[in-house]
């Protein structure tokens, strides 16, 4: 057992940290408040190879795994730049394409994802189905060689920045009448695909959308994989990378908040010569949050290591636990940081209250804490399913 990163991973972490700090939380917030995207940071990270660390070298990537991508997510977040689209595009879309796409689809899309010139976002959530994807109502119907998609999706991140959206739909399996999921690479400018931006209480340069699919016609090769059978495994392939990288983003955000707060409490003096951090009512909550973040990081490391070793089932358990732990730790860390900063905690200048919405959302999305507890109760503790 080792808790050390390899020298290459160490170098990656230092380099991404340096890049993130060059931009910093001020840049992230400025972009969000101006309604703009972090285009410069994304482009530079892509040029330096950080967005494609988990993509095979033959498609222009770094040939690493989810461990490397988690490092990128965590370090950018630790610098105050938690980029959700890292979870959507390189983690989910690139993994799904690499593992279940056709060779033609890999060649067409992975190089652009690797250098950051292309983004593919992911659409599964629907207003009616919610957490229960078995109730998906978006339907794909065969029409000659084409597919025609109809349905509605909600909270879809980054549609305005992406060239394609990976849409999860259901198809009617001929013969049995059984419904099974299929994934489609739909161009974001496809006829019949419209969107409306949701107003979210999150300070973020990345946006969420309602998507309407009205007779969206795509060619046969928009279906991800060689056949309809690729759908279910492709859907599951995205889950572990999603959980691990979103957890890494949470852990990084927690580290960022604790660092901001500790710098402040170590120097702020309001009672004689003592720093407020010398009072345990201030330092213990911060120390407690630091312990929770560090525990989450350990679980992230375990999940990523298992995933990169091809141990998908075990990675599923650890990945869910890591996502749960990091979601809770990040929310605790940011809330604690706001508290110990006093009034400064609520200012934009000190850069922690700006993260309250994002960490709160991290306990709901991409999978809620309750659904993770359901997973653990059923798959680890052997409890019956209640739903």
Ligand X SMILES: Cc1cc2nc3c(=O)[nH]c(=O)nc-3n(C[C@H](O)[C@H](O)[C@H](O)COP(=O)(O)OP(=O)(O)OC[C@H]3O[C@@H](n4cnc5c(N)ncnc54)[C@H](O)[C@@H]3O)c2cc1C
User: Residue numbers of the site for ligand X (CB under 6 A)?
Assistant: 88, 121-125, 130-131, 155-157, 202, 208, 361, 364-368, 370-371, 374, 387
The nearer residue to ligand X, 46 or 327, going by C-beta atoms, is 327
Residue nearest to ligand X (CB): 130
Q: How far is the CB of 353 from ligand X (least distance, A)?
A: 17
Q: How far is the CB of 93 from ligand X (least distance, A)?
A: 10
The nearer residue to ligand X, 139 or 365, going by C-beta atoms, is 365
Q: How far is the CB of 250 from ligand X (least distance, A)?
A: 13
Q: How far is the CB of 167 from ligand X (least distance, A)?
A: 9
Nearby residues of 127 by Cβ (< 8 Å), 6 or more positions away: 152, 154
Distance CA 166, CA 264 (A): 43
The nearer residue to ligand X, 19 or 93, going by C-beta atoms, is 93
Nearby residues of 8 by Cβ (< 8 Å), 6 or more positions away: none
Nearby residues of 369 by Cβ (< 8 Å), 6 or more positions away: 324, 327, 328, 363
Q: How far is the CB of 119 from ligand X (least distance, A)?
A: 11
Q: How far is the CB of 327 from ligand X (least distance, A)?
A: 12
Q: How far is the CB of 166 from ligand X (least distance, A)?
A: 9
What are the backbone angles phi and psi of residue 348, rounded to the nearest 5°? -70, -35
The nearer residue to ligand X, 136 or 306, going by C-beta atoms, is 136
Per-position b or e across 153-192, b if 16+ CB within 10 A of its CB: bbbbbbbebbbbbbbbbbbeeeeeeeeebbbbbbebebee
* DSSP summary character for residue 309: T
The nearer residue to ligand X, 64 or 238, going by C-beta atoms, is 238
The nearer residue to ligand X, 95 or 301, going by C-beta atoms, is 95
Return the structure tokens found at 356.
């309250």
The nearer residue to ligand X, 28 or 122, going by C-beta atoms, is 122
Return the structure tokens found at 19.
């890049």
Per-position b or e across 280-305, b if 16+ CB within 10 A of its CB: eebbebbeebbebbeebbebbbbbbb
Return the structure tokens found at 318.
């650890």
List the Cα angle 85/127/156 in 5-degree steps.
Answer: 15
List Cα–Cα distances, 20 to 28, 76, 82, 358, 382, in angstroms: 10, 5, 10, 18, 42
Q: How far is the CB of 323 from ligand X (least distance, A)?
A: 12
Max Cα-Cα span within the chain: 81
The nearer residue to ligand X, 102 or 150, going by C-beta atoms, is 150
Distance CA 54, CA 57 (A): 9
Residue 140, beta-bridge partner list = 149, 171
Q: How far is the CB of 342 from ligand X (least distance, A)?
A: 28
Give the residue from 180, 157, 178, 155 showing the smallest Cα distance to 168.
Answer: 180
Distance CA 348, CA 342 (A): 13
Q: How far is the CB of 379 from ligand X (least distance, A)?
A: 14
């Amino acid at each position: 057992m080792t808790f050390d990163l390899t020298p290459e991973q160490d170098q990656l972490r230092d380099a991404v940290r340096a890049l993130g700090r060059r931009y910093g939380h001020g840049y992230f917030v400025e972009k969000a408040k101006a309604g703009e995207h972090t285009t410069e940071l994304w482009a530079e990270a892509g040029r330096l190879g950080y967005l494609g660390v988990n993509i095979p070298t033959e498609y222009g990537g770094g040939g690493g795994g989810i461990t490397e991508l988690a490092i990128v997510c965590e370090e950018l977040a630790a610098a105050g730049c938690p980029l959700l689209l890292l979870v959507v595009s390189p983690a989910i879309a690139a993994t799904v394409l690499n593992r279940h796409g056709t060779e033609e689809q890999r060649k067409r899309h992975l190089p652009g994802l690797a250098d950051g010139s292309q983004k593919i976002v992911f659409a599964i959530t629907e207003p009616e189905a919610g957490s229960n994807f078995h109730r998906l109502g978006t339907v794909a119907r065969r029409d000659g060689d084409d597919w025609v998609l109809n349905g509605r999706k909600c909270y879809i991140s980054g549609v305005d920045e992406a060239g394609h959206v990976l849409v999860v739909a259901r198809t009617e399996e001929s013969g049995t009448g059984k419904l099974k999921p299929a994934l489609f690479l739909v161009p974001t400018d496809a006829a019949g695909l419209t969107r409306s931006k949701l107003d979210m209480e999150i300070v973020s340069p990345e946006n969420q959308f309602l998507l309407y699919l009205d007779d969206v016609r795509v060619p046969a090769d928009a279906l991800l994989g060689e056949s309809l059978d690729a759908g279910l495994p492709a859907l599951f392939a995205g889950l572990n990378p999603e959980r691990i990288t979103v957890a890494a983003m949470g852990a990084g955000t927690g580290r960022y908040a604790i660092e901001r707060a500790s710098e402040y409490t170590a120097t702020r003096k309001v009672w004689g010569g003592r720093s407020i951090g010398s009072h345990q009512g201030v330092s213990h909550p911060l120390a407690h949050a630091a312990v929770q973040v560090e525990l989450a990081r350990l679980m992230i490391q375990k999940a990523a290591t298992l995933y990169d070793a091809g141990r998908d089932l075990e990675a599923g358990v650890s990945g869910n636990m890591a996502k749960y732990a990091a979601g809770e730790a990040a929310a605790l860390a940011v809330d604690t940081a706001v508290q110990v900063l006093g009034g400064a905690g609520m200012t934009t200048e000190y850069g922690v209250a700006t993260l309250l919405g994002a960490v709160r959302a991290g306990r709901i999305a991409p999978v809620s804490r309750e659904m993770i507890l359901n997973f653990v109760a059923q798959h680890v503790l052997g409890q019956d399913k209640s739903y």
